[in-house]
């Protein structure tokens, strides 16, 4: 399956260059995916160094473990939500780490596998859960949340037609439950017709649902806060974001950390992919990497 759902890690060279300060240290890949960033980190580290890889999706963690088998004891894969990263690190009997990476992008496996319900390009169940054990789904929100909550959710993700879209969703579900991504896309197109624009009018609504289903903003702030005590002096934290709301959270959080006096910004402006990387991987075009160091 890992051959069918390839995921190309974004900004991999930059991550290895900016995150590694101790070539013999322990690093945490908090969003392991299929292991691309971990493999790049291992190539930049000495043989004694280790990487702890974390992924919330049990399917992804299993695939990554298989991909990383050649690296033996240099890698440990655990399944869990990085919102509880303190427990996951402590569970491996680690007191300090040399670096941690959060890549907030959704894996190509999720987007390209219709049964996961992430993509408006593929018809599938209205799911959107990174971890299938999560009780909240896109179906639950679309079919059970009141108009006001749906409108607010869509609006905070930057959709200026949130009111029209939310109204169309609430009206549409009266006839029958909205069960698939294709049905939701059709409903949104009634409120915001598609005329071949580069960005489909349903994009921000799908983003809003995914963010809510997976508690992405809450998990991000918790993950950053809970990993801070584990970083050794000189250790670095890197976060890759893919939309402005996430980037704003990271930017403001890192600025606050720097003002505390125990941290310094490594990247005063976010690092973005080169033209060559974007040409090779279109999903990289909106990526931004910010890095901060403990002093």
pLDDT in tens, the chain (295 residues): 334 445 689 999 999 999 999 999 999 999 999 999 999 999 999 999 999 999 999 999 999 999 999 999 999 999 999 999 999 999 999 999 999 999 998 776 676 777 787 788 889 999 999 999 999 999 999 999 999 999 999 999 989 999 999 999 999 999 999 999 999 999 999 999 988 787 899 999 999 999 999 999 999 999 999 999 999 999 999 999 999 999 999 999 999 999 989 999 999 999 999 999 999 988 899 999 999 999 9
Domain boundaries, position 169: 135-213
Q: Do 238 and 98 fall into the same domain? A: yes
For strands 97-103 and 75-79, give the pairing.
unpaired
Q: Do 95 and 59 fall into the same domain? A: yes
What's the rounded Cα separation, in Å, for the pair 294 and 194? 47
Residue 167: give its domain's CATH number.
1.10.150.170
DSSP secondary structure letters along 78-134 = EE--GGGHHHHHHHTT-S-EEEEEEE-SPPHHHHH-GGG---TTS--BS---SSTT-
Q: Do 222 and 209 fall into the same domain? A: no
Domain final residue pick, 182, 213, 244: 213
Count of domains observed in the chain: 2
Q: Do 84 and 18 fall into the same domain? A: yes
Strands of 163-253, DSSP E:
231-241
User: Which residues, other chains included, contact 186 with Cβ-Cβ below 8 Å and sequence gap of 6+?
Assistant: none
Establish if 222 belongs to a structural domain. yes
Domain final residue pick, 162, 191, 213: 213
Q: Do 95 and 236 fall into the same domain? A: yes
Establish if 157 belongs to a structural domain. yes
Q: Is the pTM of this model over 0.85?
A: yes
Write the CA distances from 124 to 32, 109, 134, integer angstroms.
Answer: 25, 14, 18
Q: Do 223 and 176 fall into the same domain? A: no
Domain final residue pick, 213, 234, 259: 213
Which tens digit of pLDDT belongs to each residue from 56-70?
999 999 999 999 999
What's the rounded Cα separation, in Å, for the pair 79 and 58? 6
Establish if 6 belongs to a structural domain. no
What's the rounded Cα separation, in Å, for the pair 43 and 162? 45
Integer-rounded Cα Rg, in Å, for the chain is 20
């Amino acid at each position: 399956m890992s051959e069918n759902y390839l995921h190309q890690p974004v900004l991999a060279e930059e991550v290895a260059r900016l995150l590694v300060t101790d070539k013999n240290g322990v690093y945490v890949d908090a969003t392991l995916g299929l292991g691309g960033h971990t493999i790049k980190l291992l190539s930049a580290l000495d043989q004694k160094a280790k990487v702890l890889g974390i992924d919330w999706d049990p399917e992804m963690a299993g695939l990554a473990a298989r991909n990383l088998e050649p690296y033996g004891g240099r890698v440990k894969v655990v399944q869990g939500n990085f919102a509880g990263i303190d427990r996951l690190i402590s569970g491996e009997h680690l007191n300090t780490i040399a670096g941690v990476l959060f890549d907030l992008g959704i894996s190509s496996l999720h987007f390209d596998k219709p049964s996961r319900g992430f993509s408006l390009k593929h018809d599938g169940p209205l799911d959107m859960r990174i971890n299938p054990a999560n009780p909240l789904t896109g179906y639950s929100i679309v079919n059970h949340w009141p108009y006001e909550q749906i409108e607010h959710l869509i609006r905070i993700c930057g959709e200026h037609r949130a009111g029209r879209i939310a109204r169309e969703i609430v009206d549409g579900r009266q006839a029958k439950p909205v069960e698939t991504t294709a049905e939701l896309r059709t409903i949104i197109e009634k409120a915001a017709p598609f005329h071949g624009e580069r960005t489909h009018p349903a994009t921000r609504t799908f983003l809003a649902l995914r963010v809510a289903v997976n508690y992405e903003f809450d998990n991000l702030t918790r993950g950053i806060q809970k990993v801070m005590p584990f970083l050794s002096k000189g250790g670095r934290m890197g976060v890759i974001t893919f939309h402005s709301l996430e980037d704003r959270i990271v930017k403001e959080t890192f600025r606050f950390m720097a003002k505390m006096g125990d941290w310094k910004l490594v990247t005063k402006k976010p690092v973005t992919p080169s033209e060559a990387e974007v040409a090779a991987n279109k999903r990289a075009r909106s990526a931004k990497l910010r890095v901060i160091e403990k002093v």
